[in-house]
Structure 1
Amino acid sequence: FFLATRGLHFSVEFTGGTLIEVSYAQAADTQKIRDALAGAGYTDTQVVNFGSSRDVLIRMPLKPGQDSAALGASVMGALEQDTAGVELKRVEFVGPQVGKELAENGAIALLLVVFGIIVYLALRFEWRFAVSAIIANLHDVVIILGFFAFFQWEFSLPVLAAVLAVLGYSVNESVVVFDRVRENFRKMRKATVPQIIDNAITSTISRTIITHGSTQLAVLSMLIFGGEVLHYFALALTIGILFGIYSSVLVASPLVMWLGVSREQFVKPQKPKEEAVV
């Protein structure tokens, strides 16, 4: 709902803007640079190290009627007041057409990942498993995008990379459950389909908790200690893994049953033995 009504707050890579590269005599403090720019009225900026700890790349959003040269001079004035020894290396303007191409390429990358997952699961298991896994994984993606739309967090290229990573991570858990379902069809000959799926979820739930928990700890450490550069990347991963815990198990598996998975799709029925003729 929020994704449709409020939309995403795209970063400079997608919308276009101005790139300013500066160099310091010593290692640059990116947080101090952000504070200096915010004090000068430039609040919606991205400040990252570029190449080395002394080089800094500043991304500023596109504003109508803004001159790149004047903007560069204004930014340099704000930085020189805060820290001495700063040198302007380049000022570049990124047009909205470049951002549009990046958005299109990102959408193509997402579609290719989805197509690859469908083909892989259809070949390894059966088409019902592929459809169920994709619906469950896209559910995670929609939730991530919904959070970013609701809170108007900045959607950048690292966040897109996190979304693709969540797709690959969540499908791994679905594969584990699906593999156990296929195995149960061969072992539990008298069990019904709900019993087989329930047994598969129960037998893999401990692994799910351990793997997701350990991964979530690593991502949370990145979120807490990674700084401004990795903040939204780690935040998207945190949301995706958190909701992937139940979607890969409690969404994908019921969908498989709803689509009509059966024992005959994995186990060939045994032919009755012909009696000997005397």
Structure 2
Amino acid sequence: MEIFNNNKTYDFMGKKIAFLSISGILIVASIFLLLTRGLNYGIDFVGGTIVQVKYDKAAPLDKIREVLENSKYAGSNVTEFGTKEEITIRFTGSSSSVTNDISDEMNKILVPTGNFEIRKIDMVGAKVGAELREKGIMALSMALLAMLIYIAARFEWRFAIASIIGLIHDVIITLGLISLFKIDVNLDMIAAILTLVGYTINDTIIVNDRIRESLQITKERDLDALINDSVSRTLSRTVLTSSTTQLAVLTMLIFGGEIIYAFSFTLFVGIIIGTYSSIFVVSPFIKFLGFNTDSYRSKQAIKAANRKEKEKLRAMYEQGRV
């Protein structure tokens, strides 16, 4: 399916300063949000307890907050969970002792608020939360390092650095939006970011592969022209893949409920940003890092000559002439 005319070359590189300026503004705004508002860490990372409660009619949030303020759970965060009948109560800390059941305590405290049922209680200790946060950051760092090594080995180190810059661009802006909309940061979100890293690097590799192919089959020396042609040839594929993926993610975002909302939101905004960066951000950095078409072709010619010489020596050895 062809969305864009594959015979037409769009001048992406001619507008690179404008697109990079937009990215720069978004990154600065995201960093500002992360420094001022921070991230809203869920109990997976800071430790604490979440009590999920379902009422037989709309939950009286004001009354619930009032009774909790008059108990040992003062300062708890009470929010709706998917529907007006269901709520979550979040507070730091877990049960004070093994004999002190939070479910029993909540059943007694919430009696004045109406008919309800405690559906679920999740508890994570502060030490476990800190450990999970550390491992989440480590997993993301290892993924970026693995991508860097893979692209450097498959293409060229400038392609690898440009691709990692694109990934960092995507992650920072995605985290900025997460901070803006106060989405809870939990293990599901880390999984979404790792999924996003794999998805966006795939788009970037498609473009890089097309640039490398153009270097091999044409004698074009102008890098801008090569990049414009390569991105234009892959544009239909990139947009079509992103659009169809977004349909599935949008379905999860709308109908998946609160349980997977953080995961769905992260993927939804991340795919948009990742598609944008693979088209408008990564390629200009290949040029900024000093990639030269003549130098690349010269190195590839030397590699091809060495490979041919090795094959010749191997053939002579197998024939007993060496």
More relative contact order, 1 or 2 (CA 8 Å, 6+ apart): 2
Kept in 2, the 8 Å contact 1:129–1:178? The answer is yes
Query: Which amino acid is the alignment partner of residue 291 of structure 2?
Result: V
**Which residue of the partner structure matches residue 4 of structure 1?**
35
Q: Call closer, same or farther: CA 1:34–1:167 in 2, change over 3 Å.
A: farther
Q: Call closer, same or farther: CA 1:19–1:239 in 2, change over 3 Å.
A: closer
Q: Which residue of 206, 217, 227 maps to 1:197?
A: 227
**Which residue of the partner structure matches residue 108 of structure 1?**
138
**Which residue of the partner structure matches residue 211 of structure 1?**
241
Partner secondary structure for residue 7 of structure 1? coil
1:178 is displaced (CA, Å) by 0.1
Matched-pair identity in % = 34
Write the distance in 2 (CA, Å) between the matches of 1:111 and 1:98: 20
**Which residue of the partner structure matches residue 138 of structure 1?**
168
Q: Call closer, same or farther: CA 1:186–1:197 in 2, change over 3 Å.
A: same
Gaps of 5+ in 2: 1-31, 66-75, 83-87, 306-322
Partner secondary structure for residue 268 of structure 1? helix
**Which residue of the partner structure matches residue 4 of structure 2?**
none
Partner secondary structure for residue 40 of structure 1? helix
Q: Call closer, same or farther: CA 1:182–1:37 in 2, change over 3 Å.
A: farther
Gaps of 5+ in 1: 22-29, 49-57, 272-278
Q: State the Cα deviation string for residues 108-143 of structure 1 (Å, max 9, x = none).
A: 001010011001101111111111111101111101
Q: Matches of residues 168-187 of structure 1 in structure 2 within 5 Å?
A: 168-187=198-217
**Which residue of the partner structure matches residue 124 of structure 1?**
154
Q: Does 1:268 align with 2:301?
A: yes
Q: Which residue of 64, 85, 89 maps to 1:40?
A: 64
TM-score by length of 1: 0.79
Kept in 2, the 8 Å contact 1:188–1:196? The answer is no
Write the distance in 1 (CA, Å) between the matches of 2:248 and 2:137: 28
1:150 is displaced (CA, Å) by 2.1
Write the distance in 2 (CA, Å) between the matches of 1:132 and 1:87: 48
Query: Which amino acid is the alignment partner of residue 177 of structure 2?
Result: F
Write the distance in 1 (CA, Å) between the matches of 2:145 and 2:123: 35
Write the distance in 1 (CA, Å) between the matches of 2:252 and 2:233: 31
Q: Matches of residues 190-269 of structure 1 in structure 2 within 5 Å?
A: 190-263=220-293, 264-266=295-297, 267-268=300-301
Kept in 1, the 8 Å contact 2:93–2:125? The answer is no
Kept in 1, the 8 Å contact 2:214–2:230? The answer is yes
Q: Matches of residues 141-152 of structure 1 in structure 2 within 5 Å?
A: 141-152=171-182
Q: State the Cα deviation string for residues 55-93 of structure 1 (Å, max 9, x = none).
A: xxx7733069x8573743342243894246x699xx775
Kept in 2, the 8 Å contact 1:12–1:59? The answer is no
Kept in 2, the 8 Å contact 1:144–1:236? The answer is yes
TM-score by length of 2: 0.69
Query: Please, what is the CA RMSD of the aligned residues?
Result: 3.2
Q: Which residue of 106, 119, 138 maps to 1:75?
A: 106
